[in-house]
Structure 1
Amino acid sequence: MTPEGYARHTRRSPLTDPWEPLLSRETADSVQLAVEVRDAHCNGRGFAHGGLISALADNAMGLSIVRLARQQPGQEQASAVTVTLALDFLDAARIGEWLEVQPNVLKLGRTLAFAECRVVCGERLIARGNASFRMV
């Protein structure tokens, strides 16, 4: 069953196209992402690949930062690029589970921004991450 409040994610890229369908849910201060784990998302052991989790975490944190930045006067065209990204993998996501990335923007500065995220399957914490972004 699809997690509540999610709809088809409209921002596509060549990297994420094979992972479709990706879902997103916008809150007042974040863009959360979700995907139902399938074979195409997994490593040789049958768990969601760390590269998938990292890319989705990076994407969700960056989208959240840009969303908040664009709400500032004169920043309607704001964009961001990743400077650092770190994740701690705490558990495994399995085929059929919904993987959700829940970002939180920590600080939005003029030239740098910082975010953290939780990656969950239901109540289980799969990974936690943090990143810094250069505002452009």
Structure 2
Amino acid sequence: MSDIPSGFTPHARKSPVTDPWQPLYARTDQGVYELGFMLDTCHCNGRGLLHGGVIAALADNAMGLSLGMARLSRGEAKEGRPQAVSGIVTTSLHVDYVDIAQIGQWISIVPRVVTASRRTGLIDALIYADDTLIARANATFKVLISET
């Protein structure tokens, strides 16, 4: 695949950890925040294959953003509430790697919100190279609440 799939736009959230992997793309679909990118050398290990650390970091990013979206859609993270969310942090992350990806393939990370409570969230994700499943991830997040 050489084209960016429909609905993906440049990823607006910038971070020092993701800067080396730009350009990244995102789309919101069915209440989750999907990330995608065209696999290039900056994402690869010494064998020219997608590095597992890139998968883990970007899956963590997509899953955390999806939890934030779930909270916003329920009206829980709005400013001005007595308890505002000051952040969402990962407390556990697990990735199973099941296949490889090569330069030129479109990588997509598709999260699913399993549960989102007031203070925690459980999210999983499937990671694809074009249409081939290459990894699955799951994470637990802590929602940081600031008392205002």
Using structure 2 for the length normalisation, give the TM-score. Answer: 0.88
Helix, strand or coil: the match of 2:6? coil
Helix, strand or coil: the match of 2:60? helix
CA RMSD of aligned residues (A): 1.1
Distance 1:62 1:45 in 2: 30
Is 1:2 aligned to 2:4, yes or no?
Answer: yes
Query: What residue is the counterpart of 1:51 in the other structure?
Result: 53
Using structure 1 for the length normalisation, give the TM-score. Answer: 0.96
Query: What residue is the counterpart of 1:26 in the other structure?
Result: 28
How far apart are residue 99 of structure 1 and its match?
0.5
Q: Alpha carbons of 1:121 and 1:110: their partners in 2 closer, same or farther (altered >3 Å)?
A: same
Equivalent position to 1:124, from 125, 132, 142: 132
CA offset digits 1:81-102 (Å, max 9, x no partner): 0000000000011100010000
How far apart are residue 123 of structure 1 and its match?
1.7
Whichever of the two has the greater Rg, that structure is 2
Which of 76-85 and 12-21 deviates more?
76-85
Distance 1:57 1:16 in 2: 12
| Structure 2 residue identity aligned to 1:51 | G
After TM superposition, the structure 1 = structure 2 runs for residues 57-136 of structure 1, keeping only pairs within 5 Å, are 57-76=59-78, 77-78=84-85, 79-136=87-144
Distance 1:92 1:54 in 2: 14
Q: Structure 1 unaligned segments of length 5 or more: list them.
A: none
Q: Structure 2 unaligned segments of length 5 or more: list them.
A: 79-83
